[in-house]
Chain A
């Protein structure tokens, strides 16, 4: 099992460009999350999806949209990238009905916006 897979691992964008970060999990988990982590900082929750077909805002949702495409996939879209969105983005999943706080994280996607 691959666990949680994020693509791309690295991306450089120009201000105003759009892109989508992809996340897929093969653990049949119900819940999925997107976090961002700025240098020297903790993780901040952008959006989460408690179950297929639902999404909710986290701490820092502005400038992002998400899609829970199916149970496996949860994508994060930047419609018009800004330098303030330069960060490392982590996707995570959890079983969602028991051990709800046990998250499995991907390796991260490092985004630079020039």
Chain B
């Protein structure tokens, strides 16, 4: 499975958009990009996923570059409750090992 690289931490002002980058330069054609978040001490929560097209749901938007080597998770109007660790993972379409990296610790500040 492809590995991902994320910045260890980011800050964002409340009400502003939070843009969280992820590098997955070794991704293969049959691997999806998934995003999760983990609020302190809770189990991780699924946010969104995509293959090559941009995706949007009620929680966030996912922008995947045309070469698929990187992606950005966008929280359009961050709130204090969005403070969490955000994980980007790459998953084969047949499943198997799901490897989480270190993630990005997002702090939303008033």
The interface residues of chain A lying within 8 Å CB-to-CB of B44 are: 43, 90, 92, 103, 105
The yes or no answer to B89 lying at the interface (CB within 8 A) is yes
Contact of A101 (CB < 8 Å), options: B34, B45, B101, B103? B34
A44→B100 contact, CB < 8 A = yes
Distance A5 CA – B82 CA, assembled complex (angstroms)? 25
Q: What residues of A have a CB within 8 angstroms of the CB of B89 in the complex?
A: 101
Tell me the total A-B contact number using a CB cutoff of 8 A. Answer: 70
Contacts of A103 in B (CB 8 A): 36, 44, 46, 98
A31→B96 CA distance, assembly (Å):
8
B96, B97, B100: the one within 8 Å of A43 (CB): B100
Given A43-B100, A48-B98, A92-B32 contact (CB < 8 Å): no
- List A contacts of B101 (CB < 8 A): 42
**Which of B32, B87, B92, B98 gathers most chain A CB within 10 Å?**
B98
Known: A90-B43, A102-B34. A35 touches B100 (CB 8 A): yes
User: Do B100 and A42 have beta carbons less than 8 Å apart?
Assistant: yes
Interface residues of B in 20-77 (CB under 8 A from A): 32, 34, 36, 41-46, 49
Known: A42-B102, A43-B100. A96 touches B42 (CB 8 A): no
Q: Which residues of B contact A106 (CB under 8 A)?
A: 43
Q: Does A99 contact B (CB under 8 A)?
A: yes
Task: Kindly list chain A residues whose C-beta atoms are within 8 Å of the C-beta of B85.
Answer: 42
Residues of chain B within 8 A (CB-CB) of A58 are 97, 99
Set of chain B residues within 8 Å of A2, measured between Cβ atoms:
none
A107 touches B95 (CB 8 A): no
| Chain A minimum-CB-distance residue to B44 | A105
Chain A residue, CB-CB nearest to B95: A100
Shortest Cβ-Cβ A-B pairs, 4 listed: A105-B43, A101-B91, A100-B95, A101-B34
Q: Which residues of A contact B (CB under 8 A)?
A: 4, 31, 33, 35, 41-45, 48, 50, 56, 58-59, 88, 90, 92, 94, 96-97, 99-108
Instruction: List chain B positions with a Cβ less than 8 A from chain A.
Output: 32, 34, 36, 41-46, 49, 85, 87, 89, 91-103
